[in-house]
């Protein structure tokens, strides 16, 4: 099945609401992120803004080069897969694939993991995966070898969340994650939206070599 067409045209971006402007001004008055590279800074700001939790500044793990490539994939029309509908609903300017409603659990496979399998059958390699709820979904992304353009892995919970994110980092995939048990649909969608909202990042000098 072909992926949904991108809808992120810079010229079509709506004006920022005054409340949102004030919220970001408050955020920037409380923490200085100017030392971070552009896309990393955008992701951290969006996650902190979505959660009102400044501790994400030190908790998030992101690599600028991976974000640049992930953003380029999004702009080229790479499909976006969300583990749950709440994540899909939070992603703007892009219709995300979410197959949780059709998925069924079976022996040794949770419904969230089954949904990942259904989605991978549909989108194939090169997608952007956004996991904000179920650690089992993130573990399944890793088990399937999905060859992602980017994985936003921010599931939440006391059982398996931190472990699944550690496994993601150890897998060496292009990813955004965090070290703690925190996470959730809102912050996962916010991290993805940062890449959709930000202007295209300039390639690093290394990428020209």
| Residues designated catalytic | 49
What whole-number distance in Å separates Cα of residue 206 and Cα of residue 33? 23
Length of the chain: 209
Residue 149, SS3 per DSSP: coil
Q: Report how far Cα 109 is from the mean position of its chain's Cα atoms.
A: 23
- Compute the C-alpha angle 197/132/84, nearest 5°: 100
Instruction: Tell me the residue ranges of DSSP E strands in 84-131.
Output: 128-131
Among 172, 175, 181, CA closest to 135:
181
Q: What residues does 106 pair with on adjacent strands? A: 109
φ, ψ at 154 (rounded to 5°): -135, 45
CB atoms within 10 A of CB 203: 12
What whole-number distance in Å separates Cα of residue 203 and Cα of residue 7? 23
Helix (H) or strand (E) holding 163: helix 161-171
């Amino acid at each position: 099945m072909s992926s949904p067409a991108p809808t992120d045209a810079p010229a079509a971006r709506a004006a920022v609401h005054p409340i949102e402007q004030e919220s970001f001004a408050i955020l920037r008055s409380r923490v200085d992120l100017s030392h971070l590279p552009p896309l990393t800074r955008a992701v951290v700001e969006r996650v902190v803004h979505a959660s009102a939790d400044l501790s994400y500044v030190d908790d998030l793990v992101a690599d600028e080069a991976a974000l640049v490539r992930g953003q380029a994939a999004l702009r080229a029309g790479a499909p976006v897969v969300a583990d749950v509908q709440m994540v899909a609903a939070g992603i703007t300017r892009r219709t995300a694939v979410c197959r949780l409603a059709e998925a069924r659990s079976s022996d040794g496979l949770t419904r969230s993991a089954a949904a990942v399998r259904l989605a991978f059958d549909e989108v194939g390699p090169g997608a952007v995966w956004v996991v904000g709820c179920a650690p089992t979904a993130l573990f399944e992304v890793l088990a399937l070898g999905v060859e992602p353009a980017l994985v936003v892995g921010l599931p939440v919970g006391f059982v398996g969340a931190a472990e699944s994110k550690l496994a993601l980092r150890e897998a060496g995939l292009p990813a955004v994650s965090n070290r703690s048990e925190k996470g959730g649909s809102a912050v996962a969608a916010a991290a993805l939206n940062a890449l959709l909202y930000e202007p295209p990042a300039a390639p690093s000098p290394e990428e020209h070599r």
